Chain A
Amino acid sequence: MRRLLILFGIALTLSAQYQNSFKITWIEPGSNVILPEFDAFDNSNGTLGVLNASGPVNTEGHPFFTALGSNKRACVNCHQPTYGMSVSAASLLDRWRATDGKDPVFAAFDGSNCPSLPQDKESSHSLLLKRGLYRIPLPWPPRKADGSPKKVEFTIEVVRDPTGCNTSREYGLQSAQPTVSVYRRPRPAANLKYVLSGGQPIVLKTGLLADVDPETGKPVSMNLMTDAREATLKTQAISAVLGHEQARVVPTPQQIDRIVQYESQVYVAQMAHIFGGPLAVPGGPAGLGVAALRDHPAGVLGDNESDPVFGLFTAWKGNDYYRSSVARGADLFMNRQFWIRDTAHINSIGLGNPLKRTCATCHNAQMTGQDLSAGWVDVGTTNFPTWTEPNTWAESSELPVFKITCSRDADPHPYLGRIIYTTDPGRALISGRCVDVGSIVMQQLRGLSGRAPYFANGSAKTLREVVDFYDRRFDMKLSDEEKEDLINFLGAL
């Protein structure tokens, strides 16, 4: 107890170092501020750092911070430095209360459960306010680069529609422009050199050609977005301006360049723990903090003993309570074995089912813990029986439920067959393939403390719920101490 109090005292002084009492925590579009090279923001776990590696950023007129479309929104609405270049559900609820629901972040188009709902009601924005989820409308069937429809291997029916959007005559699957609405968390627009690295000409998981950068023709990592639908930051930014910002004209090349430049130099990581003090300290674990993210090479496989995913934590072994817990958590992430079972695109790509391995098998790329190969995996977050939602599709769920029926001549989903109930078909909405149903591209694991809830569908409210999910899903039999260590470790990233 005494030890904890002393630690608490140290923590307060350290976090005071990063404090700035006039800090803007929510940047509004069109604001005129200078973002410093390094800034720090408190969260319930401690302090998150944001590094602008190419120096201070003036938001005035900057296309990332300026509304470019018709709904007064800018990128920054959903990608706020304070919240790890994503946005937390809690901050959205604060925002709702502060603006009486008028903030452009709640725009009907995708900031509500469905544009057809009465927009002044809180319940019409429940997915955003409770889970931090935006509506992602995707055309069905998916289209090829030339705009023609792709050949698909399955049909989609809507079996539950709590938001009304998938059955809506105007917005749904039967509308003039057939659309599937899924609901997803904003992925962090930071540390992106890691997200973009690792592209191979032939995707290991599918044995098919990777998407290419339309400008260079080079294969891309296929780790952008929940379903890898965007090839590059440029194509992503254009879609975001036309979609989230509801612009009627394509942004200019200069605007796109500035957006991409800004995103490409911003790094986000937790910097201090509320009791444990600063994380990026000389002689400490080399992978923590924003400078490490800036300086480390991207595209390096970390699923090995000598040079692990988030670096070595040996310096903190047997150190104080918090630090040794983080070090044990890092060790568990790399080394704690369990049976990885029935995960499409891991067990099914030649590794065998089950596979006795660790977290780092899937989260294998250095510094961000994404998959160095194209990262879509069905880990059990969206397909029924899901491990995050009520267990059967017939129980009430806040999310839509789709029934996928795959054609006889298509390869079935390797563990669920040809009839699949899902809240988000994930990659399959883009590829049209049955094997991809429910495969979600894993996110980077940085800045987690600033941007709860977790998973693409916001189903894990806390890091504890993430760890509990894995404990259930893979029957890991984690002890309470192991859970706490994993949570402390993830929270320090």
Chain B
Amino acid sequence: MIRRAGCAGLVCGFLAAVLAPGQPLAGQRNFVSCPIVRDTKTVPCFLAEYEGELYFLGIQQDITSDFHPPQLKHQVLVEGRVVEGPRICGGIPLRPVSISVLKEVNLACNTLLPAEPGIEAPPASRGAGPSSRRLETVSAPREPLSGRQEFTVLYSFNDDYLEYAGNRTVTEATAYAKRIGASSVKVSGYRATTLLSSGDRLVEKAGLAEKRAQNIATILRGLGVAGVTLDWKSEPEPGDGQTDPSRRRVTVVVTP
């Protein structure tokens, strides 16, 4: 049943590989492997190897950053697109790239390479020390929302942890629903499939769609939003190998 080489031990408990292979995807790299950390003079670079090639995933940043680095002691599911241009930190850059830290501990993922002359991280908005700016950066004023609004919270693969961005989205949805006294706030949970470059499919675990929806509904209700209803789709969303991360989600539809 478990066919991917390198997908060892506990991790594979979650990974249901389906026999029918998908299409190979040009320029897209979707794979599971151990992350590799490369130190530099500034912040570390995070890399991963797939089929003998090294890919650059991103650099260490702040919690507010779009890129959340992978973790040693864990395999990572990388879903990214190759971009043209020079290598970064020795790896072919992937962008956009989605990083999912797989939950089970994997002690084999333990590569931390020292800084080396000539290998430099791209400029970081935050170095490895304290921040050089105040965190309370004023976000640009936005058009006030109106009418029916759909908010989308995205998740890492097989995960229901509300990351920083999702936390912000839920906070925004809450504020909006309360401001307009929404007549209905509908929470819908999904789980999804990732089509790997190898043609295998990884399906998120059963029950996750419900868990995601329940978590968000609990938060909305707890923050005083009225009229929250929820549903979830038990069947996994299909995977196309291109847009799979966008389907690991909860949507919150706020209707005036």
Interface residues of A (CB under 8 A from B): 201-202, 204, 206-209, 301, 303-308, 334-335, 337, 339, 341-342, 347-358, 360, 409, 411-417
CA distance A366 to B10 in the complex (A): 42
B43 within 8 A of A: yes
Contact count A vs B, C-beta below 8 Å: 117
Closest chain B residue to A358, Cβ basis: B129
Tell me if B223 and A306 are in contact (CB < 8 A): no
Closest chain B residue to A372, Cβ basis: B135
Task: Give the residue among A348, A356, A409 with the most B Cβ atoms within 10 A.
Answer: A356
Tell me if B105 and A202 are in contact (CB < 8 A): no
Tell me if A335 and B129 are in contact (CB < 8 A): yes
Contacts of B163 in A (CB 8 A): 207, 350
If A304-B132, A308-B130 touch, whether A202 touches B72 (CB-CB below 8 Å) is: no
Task: Give the residue among A202, A207, A415 with the most B Cβ atoms within 10 A.
Answer: A207
Tell me if B71 and A353 are in contact (CB < 8 A): yes
Contacts of A335 in B (CB 8 A): 129-130
If A303-B131, A347-B71 touch, whether A202 touches B63 (CB-CB below 8 Å) is: no
Tell me if B131 and A304 are in contact (CB < 8 A): yes
If A207-B166, A304-B135 touch, whether A352 touches B46 (CB-CB below 8 Å) is: yes
Contacts of A339 in B (CB 8 A): 112
Q: Which of B55-79 contact A (CB under 8 A)?
A: 60, 63, 68-74
Number of interface residues of B (CB under 8 A): 45
Tell me if A350 and B129 are in contact (CB < 8 A): no
The binding surface of chain A is classed by DSSP as loop
Starting from the known contacts A208-B219, A354-B112, 12 additional A-B residue pairs (CB-CB under 8 Å) come to: A202-B219, A207-B163, A207-B167, A207-B215, A301-B135, A305-B132, A334-B129, A335-B130, A348-B71, A350-B68, A351-B63, A352-B46
Contacts of B207 in A (CB 8 A): 409
Contacts of B179 in A (CB 8 A): none
26 contacts across the A-B interface (CB closer than 8 A): A202-B219, A207-B167, A208-B218, A209-B218, A304-B132, A305-B129, A306-B134, A337-B128, A347-B71, A350-B63, A350-B163, A351-B60, A351-B63, A351-B69, A352-B60, A353-B71, A353-B72, A354-B112, A356-B43, A358-B128, A360-B130, A409-B207, A414-B71, A414-B73, A414-B105, A417-B105
Tell me if A334 and B219 are in contact (CB < 8 A): no
CA distance A478 to B83 in the complex (A): 41
CA distance A356 to B135 in the complex (A): 19
B93 within 8 A of A: no
If A207-B162, A208-B219 touch, whether A352 touches B131 (CB-CB below 8 Å) is: no
Closest chain A residue to B40, Cβ basis: A356
CA distance A170 to B105 in the complex (A): 38
Tell me if A201 and B112 are in contact (CB < 8 A): no
Tell me if B73 and A342 are in contact (CB < 8 A): yes
Task: Give the residue among A209, A347, A350, A354 with the most B Cβ atoms within 10 A.
Answer: A350
Contacts of B43 in A (CB 8 A): 356
